[in-house]
Amino acid sequence: MDQPKAKRSIMPLADLATPMAVRVAATLGLAEHAGTEGATADQLASRSGTSAAALRRLLDHLVAVEVFELTAEDGRYRPTELGAQLRKDAPEGAKPLLDITCAGGRAELAFVELLDVMTDGAPAYPRRYGRDFWTDLDAEPKLRTTFDAQMNWRFREQAPLIARNFDWSRFPDIVDVGGGDGPLLIEILRAHPGVRGRILDLPPAAAAAGGRLKAAGLDDRASAVAGSFFDPLPAGADAYLLSDILHDWDDEHARRILAGCRRAAAPDAAIVLIEPVRGHGADTAIDLFMLMCFGSKERTVEELTELATGCGLAFRGAAPVTTGRWALEFTVAAES
């Protein structure tokens, strides 16, 4: 006889103690402070500048959820294989997303304002921090640096695939609009020797991009331009690339960005969007984050196409370029 299925509890899905404990551990650098040898609660408190009594309780919970382990004989706490992912040099790249002094971790804490987002639809980030995400990055150099590092980690596997899985060789001159410090354009240049390019971003990112291009030996084929994609763009390029840009903005701002590309583009130029697509790599959790943080959303291919065609662009085609990104190509629509 079949046994009745155990009733599932909602409480594990609503737990806040564990995710906050993990984020605080990342922020305090407990995995680094413990090292491979481990450390006592007193030693970790001294190294992290925290209360030993309070920290011991945090560590005990991290042991309970198997992020740390405790050796009873010497009272030393050590990160488990799971906890080792909290280290700055861990290949999983999780720390910038969890450390609440970094751009990603700081942004996620704004989820505590989600009820108000549901009430009025306005993003939570400015409500919590007094200014929007991008203004915060401009005001705090560490946030800008950690955001660029987060983008580089996100694209470390994606960028080479995007460079290979789309025919960028058709475009001798590419402007990477909002290209950060250059992770994608650099891979495109490496994969397509006949291509030249420019990275346009705000001054801190543009300065970093210039340094990366030089370090990669590509500064003879590409340059960095300081500017905003809400201002006039460099004109006359063969392609304008927008990678992971539009999903950060609501429809009104997305149209302004697309219209700026259209104005700069020659009649036969292309505007190429590289975007996570709703239902194809962009899940409901990241969609909710985009609403909470930016007041934006992850869009379907149809929604992206509608945005672009509404700005005077003609659709050429769309195809996946990685498991998490699609390429949508447009050109300037002929005037009727």
Active site residues: 247
Q: Residues 6 or more apart from 236 whose CB is under 8 A from it?
A: 173, 264, 266, 269
State how far the Cα of 327 lies from the Cα of 243, in Å rounded to an integer: 9
State how far the Cα of 146 lies from the Cα of 154, in Å rounded to an integer: 12
CA atoms within 13 A on the CB side of 117: 20
Helix (H) or strand (E) holding 316: strand 313-320
Contact status, residue 103 vs residue 248, Cβ threshold 8 Å: no
Contact status, residue 187 vs residue 160, Cβ threshold 8 Å: yes
Q: Amino acid letter at 74?
A: D
Joined tokens for residue 201: 């971003």
State how far the Cα of 312 lies from the Cα of 296, in Å rounded to an integer: 22
